[in-house]
């Protein structure tokens, strides 16, 4: 462990940007224009990138298995349990941090062009920086708890950015959907958390509860601790399996896998740079990252690995079929993202953690490139996203076209770009896998078919958008975008090709790929997983098959959609109208969820509401009425009894006074007469009394 | 010749006192009431002198009466001042009409 005291700056810079733009952005923008927002919001992520590069260089210089660490302060300290607020960087988080800071910063640059003239320009950059902060916290977290902070933070930013144009109800709804679905996943994650916590805490023995000696959620101490609880059971299931599965529930939410993938296509309501950064390149890969980070846990449980791999494979194929029939260019890319994330889960599910991570890396580049290319097209078409209304844009937008083409080639898996190497490695590792409870060819087959479909729908979108004739102009001719946009596209496309070199397969080079060697220390635990033992011959055949199906997919797209002139797609659509309708409507999954989960939930809510209104409110109101009645009685006693007594005395005094006042006539003779009478009476009385007593 | 004794003085005193009382009660003029009071005072003074004279010619009674006369003068001065004030304020000294203190 090597202390590296400026690691905290990597997440801190974007946080500062988010704060400054969030707190003062509105005034700054009004006063100085968009430039000042750029200076804050775009420069700080680049500074993060620079520090990430420094850290990476420093990490390369360390011996194998060493990592950088930056301990800020102790966050929680209870008994033996303590959690630090600390960042650490090993090779996996270094890779992720470089992706996030580099692609993220590029997308910040792109946003200068895309968000130009938006009234909430400052708010956009503030959110985007906040997202960078959360994501970097997630990645660089030293322990599971801090990672969860980032995990929730990215969910929040995703919600904020999907609903960025919140004045449109649909956008707000999409944001809410994303948030709620993510919360369901996070709930699973939390349960996994608690079970792990319980498992690590100690155990019941014949002599009572035995507290564990060390109790930590630190990633560098966890492997040993987790290995020690291998035989512990909860509800008859090994804890490792249970925790791994619940963590995976969290991953399906964050990374849009079956059954929680439904939020991602709707998330395309957000601005396109957001779709590129959050919903393609970085945030949605958090689930994959988490599983790769927890690899030592997953390899303890073949059952959990099987679930991960099969869910990934099923998602890859399922989303790919939907992607073939979408007309909205961003929806195609959204389903493509879901599908590619499925590949990553196949990778981490079969124990090829480095291959999953490699696909994550390449995907970040080519998918960001595709999304930003789509954004460029959308800007040129004046916010038209329907591919049926496009066409011929290749002539006027050459840079967008060719970068899009390169990214298509990369995602489809042609062996000249990075996508091929990562995807092929995953498929081969799946086929050759010996750890799953199902035969390795099953996830392979699903992934293989999905690869063909991927190639088909990506080139379909390419041909529909860029070939054929220009649509009739609506006032403005579509034209190529500003250099801030195209420059970013070129850099991402170049990245998608250049990254091939870190993953050239062992079969070709004779040595392990550079990235695999780099990541090896993190995935140490997964090094000796059994394989099915297929030979090099099989691997070559698999590779050729992959290239073959990519060509089949591209060829059919070329045949059906090139130049938008073949009438066959329309005829097929009419011929198989039923199938088309089902797939076009995404297998009615949203509707099914709506009919079951959402309506069930709403029904329960209504029931609770009824209970609240009728029973709880009734009780409260009953108590109120009782108090009121009691107060009324009390008031009556006060008013009639107590006040009555007081008034009675006053009245009596008044009554007597009224009688007595009669003698106070004010006339002097009357008084004198009284005086004299009194005197006479006294004299007479005295006379009699004297007689009486003498 | 009738020997003048204590009894004659007492009768005159009683008559004088009764006249004073009747005057005080019946008259409505405040000055007349004052005069009635003077009559009563002097009647009691006459009694004191008489009792004193027939009690071994003691002088205490005469001293009392001197005091009474002085006091009566002072009292008359105060009362006249009050009557003048009432006259100024109410334009009358008829005691039947000065009844604003009626309860």
Q: Which of A663, A667, A675 to mutate to test the interface with B (most CBs of B within 10 A)?
A: A667
- State the first-to-last Cα distance of chain B, in angstroms, to the nearest integer: 58
The CATH fold assigned to B8-90 is Helix Hairpins (1.10.287)
E strands present in A375-421: none
Give the H/E segment covering residue A86: strand A81-89
B102 → closest Cβ in A665, A669, A676: A665
* Beta carbon pairs, A and B, within 8 Å: 36
Of residues A661, A665, A672, nearest to B25 (C-beta): A672
CA separation for the pair A272, A252 (Å, rounded):
23
How far A642 CA lies from chain B's nearest CA (Å)?
31
CB A334 within 8 A of CB A450: no
**CB–CB of A673 and B25 under 8 A?**
yes
Task: Name the minimum distance, in Å, from the CA of B41 to any CA of chain A.
Answer: 15
Distance from A656 to chain B by nearest Cα, in Å? 13
Dist. CA A658–CA A651, nearest whole Å:
10
Name which of A275, A293, A292, A273 is nearest A284 in CA terms: A275
- pLDDT computed for residue A119 by the predictor: 83
- On chain A, the residues whose CB falls within 8 A of the CB of B101 are 664, 666
Contacts of B103 in chain A (CB under 8 A): 660-666
Q: What is the rounded CA–CA span in Å between residue A232 and residue A212? A: 13
Confidence category of residue A455, pLDDT binned at 50, 70, 90: very high
CB contact under 8 A, A673 and B95: no
Looking at residues A619-636, what average pLDDT do you find?
Answer: 94
Q: Least CA distance to B27: which residue of chain A?
A: A669
Check residue B4 and report its DSSP letter: P
Phi, psi of A328 (to 5 degrees): -80, 125
**ipTM above 0.90 for this complex:** no
A593's tokens: 């969820």
Q: Tell if the CB–CB gap between B98 and A668 is shorter than 8 Å.
A: yes
Spell out which residues of chain B touch residue A665, defining contact as CB-CB under 8 Å.
99, 102-103
Q: pLDDT tens digits, residue range B62-101?
A: 899 999 999 999 999 999 999 999 899 888 888 878 777 7
The answer to whether the beta carbons of residues A446 and A431 sit under 8 Å apart is no
Distance in angstroms (rounded) separating the CA atoms of residues A329 and A656 = 102
Using CA coordinates, name the residue in chain A closest to B101: A666
pLDDT above 80: residue A419:
yes
CB < 8 Å to A654, chain B: none
CA distance B93 to chain A (A): 11
Whether A433 shows a pLDDT value over 90: the answer reads no
Interface subset of A 633-692, CB within 8 angstroms of B: 660-669, 672-673, 676
pTM score:
0.76
**What whole-number distance in Å separates Cα of residue B36 and Cα of residue B52?**
24
What confidence score (pLDDT) does residue A475 get?
A: 58
Q: How far apart are CA A248 and CA A311, in angstroms?
A: 10
Query: Considering only alpha carbons, which residue of chain B is nearest residue A668?
Result: B95
* Residue A516 or A81, more confident: A516
B64 CB-contact burial (10 Å; exposed 0-12 / middle 13-18 / buried 19+)? middle
Identify the three-state secondary structure at position A210: strand
Contacts of A263 (CB under 8 A, 6+ apart): A174, A177, A178, A180, A181, A182, A256
CB contact set of A12 (below 8 Å; sequence gap of 6+): A133
Residues of chain B positioned with their CB less than 8 A from the CB of A663: 103
Best residue in B27, B95, B97, B100 for a mutation probing chain A (most A CBs within 10 Å): B95
Average pLDDT estimate for A78-101: 88
Quick check: B28 and A669 CB within 8 A? yes
Which residue does chain B place closest to A674, by CA atoms? B25
| A472/B67 Cα distance (integer angstroms) | 138
Mean of pLDDT values over A28-45: 87
Chain A hits for B24, CB-CB cut-off 8 Å, are 672, 676
Chain B residues with CB-CB distance to A664 below 8 A: 101-103
Residue with tokens 């999304």: A371
Q: Any idea how long chain A is? A: 694
pLDDT-above-70 percentage for chain A: 97
Contact yes or no for A303/A241 (Cβ under 8 A): yes
Angular region, A52: left φ>0, alpha ψ -120 to 50, beta rest:
alpha
Sequence-separated contacts (24+) of A151-157 with Cβ below 8 Å: A151/A186, A151/A189, A151/A250, A151/A254, A151/A286, A151/A290, A152/A186, A154/A254, A154/A278, A154/A283, A154/A286, A155/A179, A155/A182, A155/A183, A155/A186, A155/A254, A157/A127, A157/A128, A157/A130, A157/A131, A157/A278, A157/A283
pLDDT at A476 > cutoff 70: no
Percent share of chain A, pLDDT over 90: 40
pLDDT at A98 over 80: yes
The phi and psi torsions of A75 (rounded to 5 degrees) equal -90, -55
* B18, B25, B86, B93: best to mutate for the A interface, most A CBs within 10 A: B25
Q: What is the mean pLDDT of residues A290-312?
A: 91
What's the rounded mean pLDDT across residues B22-33? 88
- Torsion sign (Cα): B6, B10, B12, B13: positive
Phi, psi (rounded to 5 degrees) for A548: -60, -50
Residues in A closer than 8 angstroms to B28, CB to CB, are: 669
Q: What is the mean pLDDT of residues A145-153?
A: 92
Q: Quick check: A546 pLDDT over 70?
A: yes
- Would you give the DSSP letter of residue A470? P
A141 has a pLDDT exceeding 70: yes
The stretch A6-23 carries a mean pLDDT of: 91
Q: Does A514 touch chain B (CB under 8 A)?
A: no
Confidence (pLDDT) at B35: 92
Q: Which residues of A touch B25 (CB under 8 A)?
A: 669, 672-673, 676
Is residue A109 predicted with pLDDT exceeding 70? yes
A277 vs A103: CA distance, rounded Å: 7
Give the residue from chain B lying closest to A675, CA to CA: B25
Instruction: Tell me the per-residue pLDDT of A635-676, one tens digit each, with 9 for 90 and over.
Output: 999 999 999 999 999 999 999 998 888 888 777 778 888 888
B96 to A669: CB separation less than 8 angstroms, yes or no? yes
Chain A: closest CA distance from residue B100 (Å): 6
**Other CB atoms within 10 Å distance of the CB of residue A564:** 18
Is the dihedral angle over the CA atoms A187, A192, A197, A199 positive or is it negative?
Answer: positive
Token pair, residue A58, equals: 């420093």
Residue A613's Cα: distance from chain center in Å?
34
Please name the helix (run of DSSP H) or strand (run of DSSP E) that holds residue A73, with its range, or none: strand A68-78
B95–A667 CB contact, under 8 Å: yes
Lowest-confidence range among A143-147, A480-484, A539-543, A623-627?
Answer: A480-484
Helices and strands in chain B: count of H runs, count of E runs: 3, 0
φ, ψ at A167 (rounded to 5°):
-70, -20
Tell me the shortest Cα–Cα distance from A648 to chain B, in angstroms.
23
Test B95 with A668 for CB contact under 8 angstroms.
Answer: yes
Name the band, by pLDDT with cuts 50, 70 and 90, for residue A684: very high
pLDDT tens by residue, A245-291: 999 999 999 999 988 988 898 888 888 899 888 888 888 999 999 99
CB-CB: which of B21, B33, B103 is closest to A664?
B103
pLDDT reported for residue A525: 80
pLDDT of residue A227: 80
Task: Return the pLDDT at A338.
Answer: 93
**In angstroms, what separates the C-alpha of B69 from chain A's closest C-alpha?**
23
Contact B21 A673 (CB under 8 A): no
Question: Residues A441, A448: contact at Cβ < 8 Å?
Answer: no
């Amino acid at each position: 462990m090597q202390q590296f005291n400026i690691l905290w700056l990597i997440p801190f810079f974007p946080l500062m940007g988010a704060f400054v733009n969030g707190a003062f952005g509105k005034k700054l923008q009004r006063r100085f224009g968009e430039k000042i927002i750029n200076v804050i919001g775009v420069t700080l992520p680049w500074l993060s990138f620079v520090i990430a590069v420094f850290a990476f260089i420093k990490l390369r210089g360390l011996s194998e298995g060493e990592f950088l660490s930056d301990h800020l302060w102790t966050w929680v300290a209870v008994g033996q349990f303590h959690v630090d607020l600390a960042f650490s960087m090993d090779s996996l988080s270094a890779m992720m941090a470089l992706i996030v800071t580099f692609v993220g910063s590029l997308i910040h640059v792109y946003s200068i062009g895309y968000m130009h003239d938006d009234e909430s320009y400052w708010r956009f950059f503030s959110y985007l920086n906040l997202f960078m902060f959360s994501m970097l916290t997630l990645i660089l977290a030293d322990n599971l708890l801090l990672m969860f902070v980032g995990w929730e933070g990215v969910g929040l930013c995703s919600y904020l950015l999907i609903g960025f144009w919140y004045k449109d109800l649909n956008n707000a709804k999409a944001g809410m959907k994303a948030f709620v679905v993510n919360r369901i996943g996070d709930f699973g994650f939390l349960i996994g958390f608690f079970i792990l916590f319980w498992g690590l805490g100690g155990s019941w023995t014949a002599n009572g509860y035995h507290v564990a000696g060390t109790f930590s959620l630190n990633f560098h101490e966890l492997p040993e601790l987790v290995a020690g609880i291998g035989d512990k059971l909860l509800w008859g299931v090994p804890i490792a399996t249970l925790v791994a599965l619940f963590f995976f529930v969290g991953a399906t939410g964050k990374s849009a896998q079956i059954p929680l993938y439904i939020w991602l296509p709707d998330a395309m309501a957000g601005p396109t740079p957001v779709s590129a950064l959050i919903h393609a390149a970085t945030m949605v890969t958090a689930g994959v990252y988490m599983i790769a980070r927890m690899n030592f846990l997953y390899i303890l449980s073949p059952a959990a690995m099987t679930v991960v791999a099969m869910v990934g494979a099923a998602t890859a194929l399922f989303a790919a079929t939907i992607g073939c029939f979408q007309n909205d260019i961003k929806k195609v890319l959204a389903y493509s993202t879901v599908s590619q994330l499925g590949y990553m889960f196949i990778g981490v599910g079969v124990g090829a953690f480095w291959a999953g991570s490699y696909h994550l890396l390449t995907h970040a580049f080519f998918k960001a490139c595709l999304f930003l290319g789509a954004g460029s097209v959308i800007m040129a078409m004046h916010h038209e996203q329907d591919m049926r209304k496009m066409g011929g844009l290749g002539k006027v937008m050459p840079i967008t076209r060719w970068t899009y083409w390169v990214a298509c080639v990369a995602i489809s898996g042609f062996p000249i770009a990075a996508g091929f190497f990562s995807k092929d490695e995953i498929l081969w590792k799946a086929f050759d896998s010996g750890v799953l409870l199902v035969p390795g060819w099953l996830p392979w087959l699903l992934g293989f078919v999905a690869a063909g479909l991927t190639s088909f729908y990506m080139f379909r979108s390419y041909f529909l958008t860029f070939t054929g004739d220009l649509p009739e102009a609506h006032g403005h001719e579509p034209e190529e975008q500003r250099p801030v946009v195209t420059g970013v596209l070129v850099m991402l496309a170049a990245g998608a090709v250049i990254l091939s070199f870190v993953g050239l397969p062992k079969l070709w080079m004779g040595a392990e790929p550079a990235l695999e060697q780099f990541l090896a220390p993190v995935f140490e635990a997964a090094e000796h997983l059994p394989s099915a033992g297929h030979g090099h011959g099989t691997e070559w055949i698999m590779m050729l098959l992959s290239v073959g199906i990519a060509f089949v997919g591209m060829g059919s797209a070329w045949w059906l959609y090139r130049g938008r002139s073949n009438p066959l797609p329309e005829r097929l659509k009419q011929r198989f109208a039923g199938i088309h309708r089902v797939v076009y409507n995404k297998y009615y999954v949203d509707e099914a969820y709506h009919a079951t989960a959402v309506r069930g939930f709403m029904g329960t809510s209504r029931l609770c509401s009824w209970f609240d209104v009728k029973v709880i409110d009734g009780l409260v109101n009953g108590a109120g009425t009782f108090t009121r009645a009691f107060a009324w009685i009390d008031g009556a006693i006060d008013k009639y009894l107590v006040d009555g007594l007081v008034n009675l005395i006053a009245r009596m005094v008044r009554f007597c006074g009224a009688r007595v006042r009669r003698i106070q006539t004010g006339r002097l003779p009357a008084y004198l007469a009284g005086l004299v009478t009194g005197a006479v009476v006294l004299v007479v009385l005295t006379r009699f009394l004297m007689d009486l007593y003498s | 010749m009738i020997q003048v004794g204590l009894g004659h003085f007492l009768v005159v005193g009683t008559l004088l006192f009764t006249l004073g009382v009747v005057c005080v009660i019946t008259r409505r003029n405040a000055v007349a009431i004052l005069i009635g009071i003077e009559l009563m005072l002097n009647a009691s003074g006459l009694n004191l002198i008489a009792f004193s004279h027939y009690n071994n010619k003691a002088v205490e009674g005469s001293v009392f009466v001197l005091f009474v006369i002085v006091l009566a003068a002072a009292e008359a001065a105060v009362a006249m001042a009050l009557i003048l004030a009432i006259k100024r304020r109410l334009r009358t000294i008829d005691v039947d009409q000065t009844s604003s203190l009626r309860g």
